[in-house]
Structure 1
Amino acid sequence: MNRRISDIQLLRGIAVLFVLVEHTQFNLFGEPNRLLTYIYPNFGGWTGVDLFFAISGFVIARDLIPRLARSDGRQFSTMLSFWVRRASRLWPSAWLWLALILVAVVGFNRSGAFGIVRTNLDATLAGVFNYGNFRLMATFGRSEYGASFPYWSLSLEEQFYLLLPFAVIIFRRWLPWVLLVPLFYQLYAHRHYDLFLMATRSDALMLGVLLAIWSQHPSYRWFEPVFLKSRQWLRWIVLLLLVLGLGAMGSYRFAEFRFWVGVVALISALLVFIGSYDQDYLMPDNPLKKVFLWLGSRSYALYLTHIPAYLASREIWFRIEPVNTVFAKNYNGRLALTAIVLVVIFSELNYRFVETPFRIRGKLLADRINLSPGWFQAWLGRFRNRPSIAAADSEKS
């Protein structure tokens, strides 16, 4: 059940590539060239975040919900082990890059690319304590967020997964119906005119959770896209149409469309649905898929490191070139090449020496918690059965 699905990993690679392209605007390139001038208005790479949400909801729920269903009175231990696994995988890397951004602000910021200390200190606190999405609301259109602005989506995910286990335990088999209420509200709402609804959008997350729940039901197999099994050319077409549709739907040309963000969530969920059958329905094995699988395996590290890499690239060329150099579009090639090298190095180092070791340690600790069934209940029982001070004094007398 915990085996990674290659098509889901492929989608992670696509999602992070969307985000990397989206954030080159303003953070890496000072002036777009002809290609970028066409891409930016017609392509919305921010939709990669919603694709991440749909993937995350599916992957987390397909593991967490069955675990809680089998816990038999050990729900707290199961919840604790879940949170330990998540924290050990996410927090060390996130905190490391928050710290490195602060170091860069102080010691590698002659160009001012990383922003000011106070702004980044506030952003760091928001990243550490997972309220980055609410800080984004407070700063949007008013002031700079800081170099760690991508952390807003990590904060939203952590808030969602803090609440999800409680919802699973409380609502049990009614959980799908309970999730449908906020889901339909978000899909219908005109969210992109409401900062709160945009910063707390969880429709893609809930769609992923609902897919995971549905995948345990026999009817899930009725809708398997088996027609793609013997038609490899059709897989390419389906994937290309959906991915291009996702990027095009993210264009601000659709900003007046009431269901703009909701359609993005639905396309993301459809991609996850096709990929969830673990039959390579999205893309057959080929060299290109291996590239996307690498991107998918490093997607978290890439997400954390790409903005520091972009800003460091600007700082490097600011120091190389003469004072008062205007970094127009003729510099885009060297900025892009420098950023690619830094992103690959940063993400690979983080994946190998931070993310993977801490994930393994977290899994071991979570397994230890699971191997001690009912430890919390046992501790609570001992505490309750401990004689009170008054009772002990009366026995002595």
Structure 2
Amino acid sequence: MSEPDNQQGKNRNIQFLRGLAIILVLFAHGSVMLVGEEAVYWDSVLQHILPGVGVDLFFLISGYLMGVTFLRKQRQFDLIAVYGFYKKRIRRVLIPTWFWAAAVVLLGLLDLIDGSPAYGMQAIVGIASSAAFFLANVYNALHETDFGYFWSIALEVQFYLFFPLLLLVGRYFWWAVIAILLWLSFASPFSPEWLFRANALFAGLLIWKLSTLEPFRLAEQEINQLSVPSRAFISVAAVLCAAVVASTLADLASFRWTAATLILAVCFVLNAFSNDVVFGALSRPVEAIGNLSFSLYLCHIPAWLFTMHWLADIPLVPRVLTCVTVSLIVAFLSYRYLEQALTSAPKGRGEQAAQPVPVRER
């Protein structure tokens, strides 16, 4: 039997899903490491399968953990509790985000000095300031850039700021969550919708609520009656299916993100509520990447662009391996000396990074 998932208070399967999510994101941004026909070919592949659903998997985990860490303790609006909520979460993302926003400015300045800038000073300042003030999704909706990946951090922080206000509706809280999810799915006013797709964050909240209901115990028993290989196979199939659906339903605007989220929820539930480590020996290395997920998300584009500045002319395989290796090293340093040391947080990505994941509630 696999090692149980609750060692040291962590749910190792959720850590694995974090690692899987960031790996998907790296694939989604892979064209940064490619040149010429390589990039054209990769972009054509992404027309049929969208690994960017890794972000939705991150959001799903964050929404669920919002229930575990906040709603389980706080049933109504309380100013002191909300202050503590803001302080804990914003602190854990603030310093690393500011640091990497500053790194983007430095990278842009180096390009300006080099004489072949991709962006002017005004664009560089806009990118960095919107990232620093968690408005990158708004900025990127107006000015698309290579550094638009800050959008998801901005959206998650916006969710953190908005979420406690929902408690003001009292006993209608869960009806409000459902209404917002339906609104985002069928009548979202935002454009482009992918920059504002908080669908999975609210879906994660609903999964937590369902997990607290007594009938869910039957579903949990059935999950654990499945063999571990079956759970692993279904999980991988669900992620691949979500990536295909998100691409196939592109014409359905924001509904495609809800559709992809519902499929990802199958993977999430099979892992989060399993008594075994679903992916066995593969779990440890992916968990390790999951620990670095926030730092790796923040640094991979700057690290790749900087590496490509020097190594764009070398063959494909060593170029990609070098870019990935550099980004992992930089992510570890960022995690060690920013996330852990400067924020005084024991581990990672707010509610979406490497801190211990509470064992599911009983």
User: In the alignment, which residue of structure 2 is the partner of 1:395?
Assistant: none
User: In the alignment, which residue of structure 1 is the partner of 2:107?
Assistant: 104
The answer to whether the aligner puts 1:90 opposite 2:93 as a matched pair is yes
User: In the alignment, which residue of structure 2 is the partner of 1:391?
Assistant: none
Structure 1 residues 37, 53: CA separation in 2 closer, same or farther (over 3 Å shift)?
A: closer
> Could you list the runs of 5+ residues in structure 1 that have no partner in the other structure?
319-326, 364-397
The answer to whether the aligner puts 1:354 opposite 2:338 as a matched pair is yes
User: In the alignment, which residue of structure 2 is the partner of 1:31?
Assistant: 36
User: In the alignment, which residue of structure 2 is the partner of 1:177?
Assistant: 175
Q: Aligned match of 1:122 in 105, 126, 139? A: 126
Q: Aligned match of 2:69 in 57, 63, 78? A: 63
Q: Aligned residue pairs: how many?
A: 338
Q: Deviations over 1:210-253 (max 9, x none)?
A: 112222222221221535445122122111211211222233x4
Secondary structure in 2 matching 1:48: helix
- Matching of residues 191-230 of structure 1 within 5 Å: 195=191, 197-224=193-220, 226-229=222-225
TM-score by length of 1: 0.77
Identity within the alignment, %: 23
The answer to whether the aligner puts 1:311 opposite 2:305 as a matched pair is yes
The alpha carbon displacement at 1:57 in A equals 0.7
Secondary structure in 1 matching 2:47: helix
The alpha carbon displacement at 1:292 in A equals 1.1
Q: Deviations over 1:138-195 (max 9, x none)?
A: 12xxxx43x5311111111111110111212x13332111111121222234x6x961
Hey, what's the Cα distance between the residues in 2 that align with 1:295 and 1:156?
23
The answer to whether the aligner puts 1:285 opposite 2:285 as a matched pair is no
Larger radius of gyration: 1
Quick check: 1:24–1:310 contact (8 Å CA) kept in 2?
no
Quick check: 1:224–1:277 contact (8 Å CA) kept in 2?
yes
Q: Aligned match of 1:299 in 286, 293, 299? A: 293
The alpha carbon displacement at 1:38 in A equals 6.5
Secondary structure in 1 matching 2:72: helix
Relative to structure 2, which stretch is displaced further, 221-230 or 153-162? 221-230
Relative to structure 2, which stretch is displaced further, 41-50 or 87-96? 41-50
Q: Deviations over 1:47-70 (max 9, x none)?
A: 11111111111112211112223x
Quick check: 1:85–1:362 contact (8 Å CA) kept in 2?
no
Structure 1 residues 8, 250: CA separation in 2 closer, same or farther (over 3 Å shift)?
A: same
Secondary structure in 2 matching 1:67: coil
Secondary structure in 2 matching 1:53: helix
Quick check: 2:340–2:346 contact (8 Å CA) kept in 1?
no
User: In the alignment, which residue of structure 1 is the partner of 2:249?
Assistant: 254
The alpha carbon displacement at 1:92 in A equals 0.8
User: In the alignment, which residue of structure 2 is the partner of 1:380?
Assistant: none
Hey, what's the Cα distance between the residues in 1 that align with 2:175 and 2:126?
38
- Matching of residues 354-373 of structure 1 within 5 Å: 354-360=338-344
Hey, what's the Cα distance between the residues in 1 that align with 2:117 and 2:264?
33
Structure 1 residues 265, 334: CA separation in 2 closer, same or farther (over 3 Å shift)?
A: same
Hey, what's the Cα distance between the residues in 1 that align with 2:48 and 2:337?
38
Secondary structure in 2 matching 1:218: coil
> Could you list the runs of 5+ residues in structure 2 that have no partner in the other structure?
1-5, 348-362
Quick check: 1:54–1:207 contact (8 Å CA) kept in 2?
yes
1:348 maps to a residue whose letter is F
Over aligned residue pairs, what C-alpha RMSD do you find? Answer: 2.7
Structure 1 residues 196, 225: CA separation in 2 closer, same or farther (over 3 Å shift)?
A: farther
The alpha carbon displacement at 1:111 in A equals 7.6
